[in-house]
C-alpha cells in the first residue's frame, strides 16, 4: 500500500493564500530551501491536486522559465504522474496528468492500493480536508512561513469535524521556514 502525504505552506497566522488567492509569499529562493524542495521533488511517486492548485502549477512548471529557474524541481514536476480532481475541468493537458471527476475518497483508496513510491498532495486544502476526514492521509507536512497575512484562506476551513494529529518532528531553515511533520493520532 502506498503512503499518502500532504504538503502545505501556511503563514504564521494560518493562511495558505492571502485574501486575493495569492501564494507568491510562500516561495523562497535561498539555497538551503531549494535543496530541500528539490529533494522532495526528486522522490518520485504520484502527485494529487484539486483544480485550483492544478491551474496554478500548470501555469509555471511546464514553462521554459521554470526549467531555467528550478531545473530539478521542474523535471520532477513535469515527469511525475499526476491526478487532478475536479468536477469542472473538461481536460487535463499537463503531461502525465489524469483527470478524475468524482468519488475522491474511493479513487484515492484505489490509488493507495497500487504499487508505487507514494502519493503526495500539494496544496489543495479542500482535497486535504476531505481525505483527512476519511482518515486516508498518512502524514502531513506543514511549512510555516515567517509572514503574517492578516486574512485569507485556511487549509482546513471546510473541516466538519475535529481531526486529531500527532507531531512527529520539526525542521527549521535559515530563511525562517519551519516544517512541522504530523501523523495520525493513535
Is residue 42's pLDDT more than 60? no
Going by pLDDT thresholds of 50, 70 and 90, the confidence category of residue 123 is confident
Mean pLDDT of all residues belonging to the chain? 91
Chain position carrying cell 494529529: 165
Per the CB < 8 A criterion, the answer to whether 173 and 39 are in contact is no
What is the separation of C-alpha 158 from the centre of its chain, rounded to a whole number of angstroms? 17
- Report the percent of the chain where pLDDT is more than 90: 67
Going by pLDDT thresholds of 50, 70 and 90, the confidence category of residue 165 is very high
* End-to-end Cα separation, the chain, in angstroms: 19
| In the chain, where the domains are located | 4-184
Q: Look up the CATH number of domain 4-184.
A: 3.40.430.10
Residues 2-34 pLDDT 10s: 999 999 999 999 999 899 988 888 877 788 988
Residues 63-108 pLDDT 10s: 999 999 888 888 888 999 999 999 999 999 999 999 999 999 999 9
For residue 28, which phi and psi values (nearest 5 degrees)? Answer: -115, 150
Q: Tell which residue, 2, 1, 12, 3, has the closest CA to residue 142.
A: 12
| Measured CA angle at 37 (ends 36, 41), to 5 deg | 120
Question: pTM (2 decimals)?
Answer: 0.85
Is residue 40's pLDDT more than 90? no
Calculate mean pLDDT across residues 28-43. 76
The reported pLDDT for the residue numbered 43 is 66
Q: Report the distance separating Cα 119 and Cα 179, nearest Å.
A: 19
Calculate mean pLDDT across residues 35-44. 71
Per the CB < 8 A criterion, the answer to whether 177 and 28 are in contact is yes
CA dist list (Å): 149 to 18, 23, 47, 162: 6, 11, 27, 25
Tell me which DSSP letter residue 26 carries: G
Is residue 146's pLDDT more than 90? yes
Amino acid at each position: 500500500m502506498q503512503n499518502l502525504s500532504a504538503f502545505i505552506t501556511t503563514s504564521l497566522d494560518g493562511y495558505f493564500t492571502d485574501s486575493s488567492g495569492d501564494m507568491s509569499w510562500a516561495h523562497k529562493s535561498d539555497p538551503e530551501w531549494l535543496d530541500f524542495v528539490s529533494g522532495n521533488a526528486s522522490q518520485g511517486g504520484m502527485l494529487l491536486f484539486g483544480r485550483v492548485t492544478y491551474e496554478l502549477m500548470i501555469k509555471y512548471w511546464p514553462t521554459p522559465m521554470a526549467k531555467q529557474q528550478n531545473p530539478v524541481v521542474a523535471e520532477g514536476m513535469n515527469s511525475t504522474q499526476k491526478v487532478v480532481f475536479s468536477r469542472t475541468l473538461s481536460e487535463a493537458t499537463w503531461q502525465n496528468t489524469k483527470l478524475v471527476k468524482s468519488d475522491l475518497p474511493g479513487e484515492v483508496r484505489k490509488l493507495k492500493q497500487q504499487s508505487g513510491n507514494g502519493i503526495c498532495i500539494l496544496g489543495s486544502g479542500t482535497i486535504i480536508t476531505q481525505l483527512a476526514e476519511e482518515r486516508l492521509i498518512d502524514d502531513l507536512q506543514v511549512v510555516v512561513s515567517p509572514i503574517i497575512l492578516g486574512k485569507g484562506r485556511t487549509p482546513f476551513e471546510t473541516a466538519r469535524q475535529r481531526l486529531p494529529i500527532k507531531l512527529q518532528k520539526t525542521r527549521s531553515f535559515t530563511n525562517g521556514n519551519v516544517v512541522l511533520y504530523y501523523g495520525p493520532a493513535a
